């Protein structure tokens, strides 16, 4: 059941370090608020697997643990939102954008164009020490973005998606070396956004170091409350 009938759109951001559970928490937000899940990582991985020159360039950037440039990211996101009915009517949760202060400023402009504003920024907090174990066991269904974990959230049939039965894969950037670089980039370039959104009074901190569905009700009420 969704809460979005006849209501103003919900605009949310979920942020946190790699492997902190951003993508895992999004289906609950999508179901509860009836909004779209916009994962810029998933969008980029689709381009990366397209076999084009741009795809190869993006794939190299992702595998290096660095970021795709801000202008390309804003353009890709803007085009997606403007052409997606759910985004334009019900709203969205941004997972992976913004990742730099420049992207946050670009998003402020985009929100003005949408005549709306981001209501909540959910910060997934987890110690760095838990991250490698979470990421190294991750299995994904590329077509839907559904995420599993071989130990913490295994699929019903080994290496198969529960819904479609398609094969699950490991992400190319899910290896200890790239994870170290992704974490470094996060702390350098994305962590300053915590202060950016705390100052606006819209930051909600959520401890995601517990079980996958732990505190789900509290999680959703913290996002609904003003
Ligand atoms: P992206 O795909 O966004 O990767 P990320 O930020 O590194 O985050 P992850 O997807 O790895 O982690 P997550 O927090 O979603 O964790 P998950 O829920 O899957 O971006 C990839 C790359 O694309 C970037 O490095 C960059 O190069 C590029 N990019 C993307 N956006 C960009 C932008 N805006 N600008 C520039 N470049 C951009 O959970 C991880 C695992 O843990 C799963 O297996 C899950 O089952 C398990 N798990 C989750 N929660 C729990 C729990 N509570 N208990 C036990 N297990 C759990
Ligand atoms: Mg993710």
**Residues in Cβ contact with 63 at an 8 Å cutoff, skipping those fewer than 6 apart:** 172, 173, 178
138 is catalytic: yes
Residue 25 annotated among the catalytic residues of the structure:
no
Indicate whether residue 23 lines ligand 1 (CB < 6 A).
Answer: yes
Q: What is the pTM of this model?
A: 0.95
Angular region, 65: left φ>0, alpha ψ -120 to 50, beta rest: left
Distance between alpha carbon 47 and the CA centroid of its chain, in Å? 17
Cβ-contact 48, 58 below 8 angstroms: yes
Q: Which of 106, 60, 99 is nearest to 81 (CA)?
A: 106
Q: How far apart are CA 12 and CA 91, in angstroms?
A: 8
Averaged over successive runs of 10 residues, the pLDDT of the chain (226 residues) comes to 62 97 94 96 95 96 96 97 97 98 98 96 93 94 93 96 98 92 96 98 94 84 78
Residue 133 catalytic? no
Q: Which ligand has the nearest atom to the CA of 77?
A: 1
Give the model's pLDDT for residue 218: 83
C-beta 37 within 6 A of ligand 1: no
- Ligand number nearest CA of 174 is 1
Distance 23 CA to ligand 2 centre (A): 4
What pLDDT score was predicted for residue 1? 43
Q: Is 220 in the pocket of ligand 1 (CB under 6 A)?
A: no
Q: Tell me, in angstroms, the distance from the centre of ligand 2 to residue 6's CA.
A: 30
pLDDT of 6 reads 53
């Amino acid at each position: 059941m969704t809460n979005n009938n006849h209501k103003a759109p919900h605009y949310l951001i979920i942020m946190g370090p790699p492997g902190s559970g951003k993508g895992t928490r999004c289906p609950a937000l999508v179901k509860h608020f009836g909004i779209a899940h916009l994962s810029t990582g998933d969008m980029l991985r689709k381009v990366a697997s397209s076999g084009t020159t741009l795809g190869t360039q993006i794939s190299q950037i992702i595998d290096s643990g660095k970021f795709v440039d801000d202008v390309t990211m804003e353009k890709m996101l803007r085009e997606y939102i403007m052409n997606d009915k759910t985004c334009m009517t019900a709203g969205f949760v941004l997972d992976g954008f913004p990742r730099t202060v420049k992207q946050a400023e670009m998003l402020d402009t985009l929100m003005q164009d949408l005549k709306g504003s981001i209501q909540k920024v959910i910060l997934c907090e987890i110690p760095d020490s838990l991250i490698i174990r979470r990421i190294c066991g991750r299995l994904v269904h590329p077509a839907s973005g559904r995420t599993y974990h071989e130990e913490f959230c295994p699929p019903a049939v080994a290496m198969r998606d529960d819904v479609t039965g398609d094969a699950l894969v490991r992400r190319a950037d899910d290896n200890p070396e790239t994870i170290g670089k992704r974490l470094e980039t996060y702390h350098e370039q994305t962590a300053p956004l915590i202060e950016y959104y705390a100052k606006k009074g819209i930051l909600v901190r959520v401890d995601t170091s517990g079980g996958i569905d732990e505190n789900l009700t509290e999680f959703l009420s913290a996002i609904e409350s003003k």
